[in-house]
Amino acid sequence: MTLPPIAEQVKQDGYITIAGTLYHCNGYTGNAPYLYLRYDSVSKQVVLQTGWSNDRNTVLVLEQTDIPIWKQNSWSPDCRYISAALGDKHHTDTVVWDVVMRRRVAVFPDAHEIPHPFVWSPYSGLALIQTRSGGYLWNVATDTKMLLHDGVITRSGYSPQVTNFYEFKWDEKRGQLLAVGVNTRDRVTAYDAHMGQQIAFYSVPQPTGIVSFYLSPDGSKINVYSGRYYYDYSLSIFSKQESNQVIWDRDRGTPLLHFKPPHPYIQFSPDGHYLAEKTKGGLLVWDLTHPNGDSSPSYRLTLSNDGTYNAYFFSFVDNTTFEVTVDPTADNPHKLVTRWDIVSGAFLGKVIPAAPASNWSAPQSTSPGVSGIAGQLGDGIPFNCQSGDERSNLLLRYETVVCCLSIGQAGSC
């Protein structure tokens, strides 16, 4: 029997209204009670509850069944759907319920002792399920299960796992799913996230291991690389082993640049027009809208000839400006931050970073000077505070920045 709906979705992801009360489902913090999926062995019901132990309160009954829940999998981002493994350790099926309609909407059988990895798309209407028979894309609206990849690796032991994809990413803007399958470890496959068809491939020549990838912030470019050991920092990569890398233009479906090893640290501009690489002597910059036809950079920005800039970090401030931060050294004890024009390579100036309030040192009493409060910090940096009441001034310090405030005065430097 299908029960009448008493739950309502709300516009904010992570929350749902049941019988007029607001609950949240993703994360354990929030301004509303958290909903847990449990099996009531006395009433033999699958229920949604709040609280723990003796404080449990049943909010909603989803179904009557003799099969207990072995493990809860995940909520959809909008809290409308929830999945769980039903059965025991040796035989489980993955079941998905529609909380609003209070009924089952899908079953993925034969999980054995390893619950199916179940990952929702950011927009809740799609999910990727990894099973012993392959990786499936499930369209909730049409209840269509599409087999994307039939390769599978299972691991038993302390942390059992079933894997169809080494890596995957939902691309909501383009309506795609990007994935590296266990049987296609040399390339990234782009699938239509609604229909399941393969629509593009991105690869590297002679990969040295399983490929990995990341997108430019605007999603128009994809960097595909391989290596035995690698770290994906979303906007940059660091490869300990030799790795070929290819920058692909996703709009044209063509490779733009092919890097041979080593290329340790790369970033895209926010609009995907520029690519910058960190080297010991400075930055190499590529204009991806007008490539040279080979892997040579558009220009090289030399930061220093004396090695001072060897320990530095850079990041894009906007589409045409990037910021370089140099760590303190014995010769230069203060952090240096500069900004540069990515188009021309021109120096734009130094930056004095705003000091977080939590990083200011404790207020220190100071002695009044002739025209205010003056003196030197412990490292010899001079300061001079001008104020109407010199006797009530306090000194606050953050790195090389000095702030003078009157006692009881609100505000910041």
In a domain, 92, yes or no: yes
pLDDT of amino acid 243: 66
82, 112, 142 - which closes a domain: 112
Nearest-angstrom CA–CA distance, 166 and 180: 6
Domain count, the chain: 2
Identify residue 324 by its one-letter amino acid code. V
Sign (positive/negative) of CA torsion 312, 313, 317, 318?
positive
Determine the structural domain holding residue 385 and report its residue range.
Answer: 359-406
Question: What single string gives the DSSP state of each residue in 186-241?
Answer: TEEEEEETTT--EEEEEE-SS-SSSEEEEE-TTSSEEEEEE-SSEEE-SS-EEESS
pLDDT of amino acid 396: 39
Cα 358 to the center of its chain, rounded Å: 26
In a domain, 164, yes or no: no
pLDDT of amino acid 27: 65
52, 78, 112 - which closes a domain: 112
In a domain, 127, yes or no: no
78, 112, 146 - which closes a domain: 112
pLDDT of amino acid 86: 86
Encode pLDDT of 363-409 as tens digits: 444 444 333 334 443 333 444 444 443 333 333 333 444 444 443 33
Percentage, residues of the chain above pLDDT 90: 24
In a domain, 246, yes or no: no
- Residue 270 near residue 319, CB atoms below 8 Å: yes
Question: What single string gives the DSSP state of each residue in 92-127?
Answer: EEEEEEETTTTEEEEEE---TTSPPPEEE-TTSSEE
In a domain, 374, yes or no: yes
In a domain, 172, yes or no: no
With a CB cutoff of 8 Å and minimum separation 6, the contacts of 409 are: none
Q: Is the pLDDT of residue 230 over 70?
A: no
In a domain, 314, yes or no: no
Higher per-residue confidence, 250 vs 368: 250
| Confidence bin at 355 (pLDDT 50/70/90) | very low
Percentage, residues of the chain above pLDDT 70: 68
In a domain, 247, yes or no: no
Q: Is the pLDDT of residue 92 over 90?
A: no
Taking the model in full, what pTM does it have?
0.74
| Confidence bin at 150 (pLDDT 50/70/90) | very high
Among 109-113, 185-189, 310-314, name the most confident range: 185-189
- Residue 168 near residue 128, CB atoms below 8 Å: yes
- Residue 249 near residue 288, CB atoms below 8 Å: yes
